[in-house]
Structure 1
Amino acid sequence: MTTTVKDVIKVLEDFAPKSYAFDGDPIGLHVGSMDSKVKNVMVALDVLEEVVDEAVEKNVDLIVAHHPLIFKPLKSIDTNSEKGRIVQKLLKHNISVYATHTNLDIASGGVNDMLMNQLNITDSEVLVQTGEDSLYKLVIYVPDTHEDQLRDALSDAGAGHIGDYSHCTFNMHGTGTFKPLEGADPYIGNQGDLEKVSEIKMETIVPASILDEVIKAAIEAHPYEEMAYDVFPEKLEGFTRGLGRIGKLDQPVSLKDFSEQVKEAFDVPFVRMVGDSSKTVKNVAVIGGDGNKYIHHAKVKGADVLITGDIYYHTAHDALGMGLSMIDPGHHIEKVMKTELAKILSERSHHLNVEYISSEKITEPFRLI
């Protein structure tokens, strides 16, 4: 089976929907075609010239990047400039580029969850709410022979995920009846004959944002010409989505000791610390990238310390004034997404003939002297 950029992006957007992104965030396809064939995908933090050279060397067909290649519209493509050379090389070697930015930050299991996992904080919640997915109950009737196939398809499409559990369904055995009429092409039975089939009534929970995709996946996995199903709105609280995460350490530690832990966890040569080094830290907030404008959210949520990059001088003073400590390990700690997203996409692409790798290039621009 031939895999295209469109096929890979569908898997990516099932995980980090475009609708999650901030308004004006230039996510999506930056270079190339959705119809281009893909065998090798490289996940990168930044699309710099050395990253493109790496992609050429490794016969990559698609680069999935966290930071968009084109943040502002290009007035020209001057091949004497770095940006122009990058675009020229990408087109010459038929390499497409797709950016997944704030939608990947916000997605469950995305960048901010990856950062929390690096700190061994596994029980966390959203720091800054940006939306909520209402829930639906999806009920599908499927013959016994295809029960497992349908359940796997639903789970792969994002249905039936509750907390740390997947494949969550409730199933009841029963008898389905139908009579194929003229023009029908039944999987079971013959035209004009009433059929009685042992079937499973399978119920699962689906977030509103992926309902259409889940139903489409179910229809593709279902053996019948016409799949029988019901959709019911749920009054249960939906899934909160948003930027950043906040959670608790297993044991309180001093700000100084925790800063050392952050330095080690993110494999950085130094961190900048704001606050009393002897202060006890228990509640930890994390925002990948530049989280300066969210110090008030962290304080209101009860954070003792906010970990984020690019801390401004005046923001540090404001945080001190409100009793919030801060740790700045740099913007580049988002590099964790390279290996983690490659792993996630690989696990979700078992139906595609494609290989995922992570870029080995270090795109941290700062050097210590």
Structure 2
Amino acid sequence: MVIRGTDLIRAMEAWAPPSLAVEKDRIGLQVGDPRQKVRGVLCTLDVTEGVVEEAVQSGANWIIAHHAVIFNPVQTLRTDQPKGRLYAKLIKHDINVFVAHTNLDTAVDGVNDVLCEKLGIHNTRVMMPITEDQLKKLVVFIPRSHHEQVLQAISEAGAGWIGNYSHCTFNLEGIGTFMPREGTNPYIGKQGALERVEEVRLETVVPQRLQQQVVQAMLDAHPYEEPAYDIYPLELEGIPHGLGRVGELPREMTLKELAEKMKEAYRIPRLRMVGDPAARVKKAAVLGGSGGRYYPTAKKMGADVYITGDVDFHIAQDAMADGICLLDPGHHVEHLVLERVADKMREKLKDVPVVVSRTDTNPFQFI
């Protein structure tokens, strides 16, 4: 089976849809042709000349990046200058670049969830909601022989989540009737004869953004030529999606203990700390990237410590005066999500080689 760029894009957008990105973010396919065959994928935080050379040497013709390769409007394409040289190299080697930025920050199992996971932060909630995913109720009638098959298929497609519980369904047995008419090809029964079948009515919840893929998974797993199903809107609070997470550390610890734990978990030699090293911290807020200006939101949500990158001098002073601790591991720790990106793409793209870039794009060194 030939895997094309459209398949890669569909897989990424099912996980981190464009609707989760902040307004005017530069995301999606930035360089290349979506119809081009995917021979190999390189996952990276940034697209630099070194990363492009790595893609060329590894045989990867698709790059999945977190940061945009084209952010500001391009005024010229001079190949004697760094940006022009970079774009020329991408085009010369037919390398396509797909970008998932704030939509990957926001997505479930994306940047912020990975950063929390590395520190054992649990019971998390969204720090700054961007959008709310409305819930739908899916009801489908399944012959008993295929009930488990359909249940697993829709659950794996994203249906049935309530809080941190998956595969949440309600199932009721009954008798279904139907009469196949001329031109049909029934899985059960014969044309012109009323059929009675032992069926299961399965009910579950589906986030609106996943409705299409869940329904498709149901149709693919269902044995009937024309499955009977209904979708209802629900007047329930939707699922919030947004930047940052606030949750509980595995145990109360000192700020210095957390800083040491973070250096190991995030694989960094140093970090910047604001606050009393002996301060006790239990509730933590995390926002990958450059989030210093949002510390008041973290404080308002009860965080003892706020973990983010690129904190400037005056924000650090203000946070200290406001009584919230800060830990700045740098912007580059977002690279920790790349292994998760690679794992998901390996699962979706099957036999296509997918690797994480070994090129260090962090411009800072510690001496």
Range with greater deviation from structure 2 (125-134 or 154-163):
154-163
- Equivalent-residue separation in structure 2 for 1:35 and 1:353 (angstroms): 18
How many Å apart are 1:328 and its aligned residue? 0.8
- Residues 145 and 39 (structure 1 numbering): CA distance in 2 closer, same or farther, change over 3 Å? farther
- Equivalent-residue separation in structure 1 for 2:145 and 2:352 (angstroms): 29
Q: What residue identity is the alignment partner of 1:358?
A: V
Q: What residue identity is the alignment partner of 1:210?
A: L
Match of 1:324 in 2: 324
Q: What residue identity is the alignment partner of 1:23?
A: E
- Equivalent-residue separation in structure 1 for 2:257 and 2:100 (angstroms): 34
- Equivalent-residue separation in structure 2 for 1:223 and 1:80 (angstroms): 60
1:363 pairs with 357, 361, 364, which one? 361
How many Å apart are 1:223 and its aligned residue? 2.8
How many Å apart are 1:79 and its aligned residue? 2.3
Match of 1:104 in 2: 104
Q: Within 5 Å, give how 1:169-318 maps onto structure 2.
A: 169-318=169-318
Q: What residue identity is the alignment partner of 2:2?
A: T
- Residues 311 and 4 (structure 1 numbering): CA distance in 2 closer, same or farther, change over 3 Å? same
How many Å apart are 1:254 and its aligned residue? 1.9
The alignment covers a number of residue pairs equal to 367
Q: What residue identity is the alignment partner of 1:53?
A: E
Contact 2:79 2:88 (C-alpha < 8 Å) held by counterparts: yes
The alignment's TM-score, normalised by the length of structure 1, stands at 0.93
- Equivalent-residue separation in structure 2 for 1:145 and 1:33 (angstroms): 44
Secondary structure of 1:123's partner?
Answer: strand
Contact 1:14 1:157 (C-alpha < 8 Å) held by counterparts: no
Identity %: 47
Contact 1:14 1:158 (C-alpha < 8 Å) held by counterparts: no
- Equivalent-residue separation in structure 2 for 1:79 and 1:148 (angstroms): 58
Unpaired runs of at least 5, structure 2: none
Range with greater deviation from structure 2 (186-195 or 297-306):
186-195
Q: Within 5 Å, give how 1:82-121 maps onto structure 2.
A: 82-121=82-121
Contact 1:3 1:353 (C-alpha < 8 Å) held by counterparts: no
Deviation per CA, 1:87-143, whole angstroms, max 9, x where unpaired? 223223322111000011111111001001111113211111222212111011122
Range with greater deviation from structure 2 (129-138 or 290-299):
129-138
Contact 1:106 1:112 (C-alpha < 8 Å) held by counterparts: yes
How many Å apart are 1:268 and its aligned residue? 1.1
- Equivalent-residue separation in structure 1 for 2:152 and 2:59 (angstroms): 32
Moved over 4 A (4+): none
Q: Within 5 Å, give how 1:38-53 maps onto structure 2.
A: 38-53=38-53
How many Å apart are 1:331 and its aligned residue? 0.3
Deviation per CA, 1:134-188, whole angstroms, max 9, x where unpaired? 2111011122333333223312321123344433322223222212223333333
Q: What residue identity is the alignment partner of 1:249?
A: L
Q: What residue identity is the alignment partner of 2:221?
A: A
Secondary structure of 2:122's partner?
Answer: coil
